[in-house]
Amino acid sequence: MHSKEDLAITAKDIINQLAVIIRTAAIHDPGNVAVTTAIDKLIAIINPLVLEGELILELRGEFFYIGEARIRYSLEYLPNFDFLVREFKRRGLGSVIFKGILKPSDMQAFLKAFISSGPSPDPFETLTEGISEADGLGIGKLRRIRDEAEGGGTQDIRREVKKSYFNAVSFTRGVITKIKSGEKVSIKKAKRVVESMVDLILEEEQLLLGMTAIKDYDEYTYHHSVNVSILSVALGQRLGLSKKALTELGLVALFHDIGKIEIPSELLNKPTSFSDEEWNIVKKHPFWGVKAILRLRGFDATSIRAAIVAFEHHMNYDFSGYPTTRKPIELDFYSRLIGLADQYDGMTSSRVYSRIPMPPDRALSLMMERAGTQLDPILFKFFINMIGVFPVGTLVMLDTKELGLVYQSDAVFLDRPKVLVIMNDKGEKISGHVVDLSEKDSNGKFLRSIVRTMDPNKYRINLAEYLL
C-alpha cells in the first residue's frame, strides 16, 4: 500500500508527466520517440497505483484531486499544472479514470483524441469517441459545483461573486463604524464573511480577482481591505495553503489596515501630499492597528496573527519600511504575503492623496524592481503568475485596432489573456465580446496581440460597467 506522503509525491508526477506528454505530442507525431518515452514514464508511475484499485484524477475549480486529496505542488510544477487546468477546461474534461493496467496504445488513443478535440465544436464528445477503444481509461465531464447545487449558469455565479464581494465591503464598513464608536466587534462574523469568499476563490478565482479591479474612490478604505483579503487568499491558494489557513489569512488581511481608524478623517482625506509631520501621524497606524485588534471580542490565536500583520505589513522584506525596530526581526509569512497584496492594490487604486491610479502593468513593473528588496521575490513570482502580465481590468490596444479590457489572465500564456473588446477598429463603442489572445489561425499565427496598454481615465471608461 502507498502511504499518503508517497501518493502526494506520485500525484504531482502524474500531472507533470501528463502535461509533458500532451505538450510533446502537440509538437511531434504521436509515434515520435520523445512522445513514446514520455508515455512509458507515465505508465510506470500509474500502473503500480492501479493495481490497488481504480485511480481517478479529477479537476475541481482550479485544482486537481486524486480521490478526496488535493494535489499540492511547488513553483517548478506550476506551468504544467496551469497548462493542464486550462486544457481540461477547454474540453469540458473533468476527470480521467484509470480503470486497469494502462497500455501504451491506451495513451496513444487518448493523446490523439485530446489533440483533435481542441478545435472541435463539441470537444468532450470528440474526446469520448476517440478513446472508445482504450480499455485502460475513461473520462468524466467537468462539473461546476455551483451550477449543480443551484441549477444556475454563468450569470448566477457572477451574481454570487458580486454578492459575496459587496457583503464583505458592507461588513468592513460596519466593523470600522462600530470600532470608531467604541463598540465590541465579533471575530466570528468576520470569519463567516471570509469563508464565503474563500469558497468562491477555490471555485471561481478569476471572477473574484476581477472584482478587485473595480476601484471605488469614495469608499477606498473598505474596498481596499476586501481587495487585499481576496488577493492574499488567491495567492495563498496558489501556494497550496489548506482551506482553514486560507480563511485565517483572509481574516488577517481584512484587518491589516484597521489602525487607520485613529487617523483624523481630515488628514486621511487630504487631497494634497502629506507634510513630514502629517506623514509621521500616518505612520503610527500599525501601532494603532495592534491596539484595535487586541480589543476585539473572541480574542484567539488568529487575533494574535492579525495583530502581528497589522504591525508588520509596511515593514518590507528588507526592513526598509516602517515602523522601525531596534534590530531586524523575521517577518511573519502572512505579513510578507499581505504586504505584497497591499502594495499592489494601493498603487492601482485612486486614493484621496493619489487621485490617478497607476495602470496595473505599470504597478507590476515597479513591483518587479522591488522584488528581492522590498518584496519577497518567491511570493512575487507566484503573484505575477496569478494575475498575469496584464492583470484583469487593464485597458489594451490590440493590433486589430480594437480596444479591450483584460477579462481573465491565462496561466500558461501570461502575456495572452482573454480580452473583452469594447471598441471596434473604427473607434465605435460596442456592447463587448470576449476574445482569447492565445487563439491562432490555420497557419499558426496569433489572431490578435496586445500592442500597448492605455489609460482608462483618458477614455472615461468605467470598469465597473463592464466587469460587473
Look at residue 179 and give its three-state secondary structure.
Answer: helix
Average pLDDT, the chain: 85
Give the per-residue pLDDT at 149: 40
Single-letter amino acid code for the residue at 88:
F
Say which CATH number the domain at 373 has: 1.10.3210.10
Considering the domain architecture, whether residues 237 and 354 belong to the same structural domain is answered as: yes
What is the value of pTM for the model shown? 0.72
State the residue range of the domain holding 56.
4-143
Selection from 409, 418, 417, 340 nearest residue 373 by Cα:
340
Q: How far apart are CA 58 and CA 412, in angstroms?
A: 20
Question: What is the chain's percent helix, strand, coil content, to nearest 5?
Answer: 55, 15, 35
Res. 463: pLDDT tops 80: no
Do residue 207 and residue 354 come from a single domain? yes
Task: Say if residue 349 is in the same domain as residue 225.
Answer: yes
Q: Which of these three, 334, 362, 387, is where a domain ends?
A: 387
Same domain, 356 and 453: no
Q: Tell me the residue type at 203.
A: E
pLDDT tens-digit series, residues 211-244: 888 775 567 788 899 999 999 999 999 898 988 9
Q: Residue 188 has what pLDDT?
A: 76
Among 387, 405, 429, the domain boundary falls at 387
- Cα Rg for the chain, rounded, in angstroms? 24
Tell me, yes or no, whether 139 and 202 share the same domain: no
Amino acid 299: pLDDT: 72
Judge whether residue 458 has pLDDT over 60.
yes
Which residues, in sequence order, are bridge partners of residue 233? none
Query: Do residues 225 and 345 share a domain?
Result: yes
In this structure, the answer to whether residues 176 and 129 fall within a common structural domain is: no
Note whether 247 and 372 are same-domain residues.
Answer: yes
Phi, psi of 187 (to 5 degrees): -70, -30
- The total domain count for the chain is 3
Distance, in Å, from the CA atom of 314 to the CA atom of 339, rounded to the nearest integer, reads: 6
Residues 90 and 179 placed together within one structural domain of the fold: no
As given in the structure block, the three cell numbers for residue 312 are 508588520
CA distance 280 to 60: 48
CA atoms 452, 82, 334, 248: torsion sign: positive
> Both 266 and 371 in a single domain?
yes
Tell me how far CA of residue 310 lies from CA of 219, 255, 256, 433, 445, in angstroms: 20, 7, 5, 42, 49
Tens of pLDDT, residue by residue over 124-177, are 888 998 898 888 898 988 875 444 444 445 667 778 888 888 888 888 988 888
Residue 7 main-chain phi, psi, to 5 deg: -65, -40
Domain match, 431 and 311 both: no
- Domain limit, last residue, from 371, 387, 403: 387
Do both 183 and 266 map to the same domain?
Answer: yes
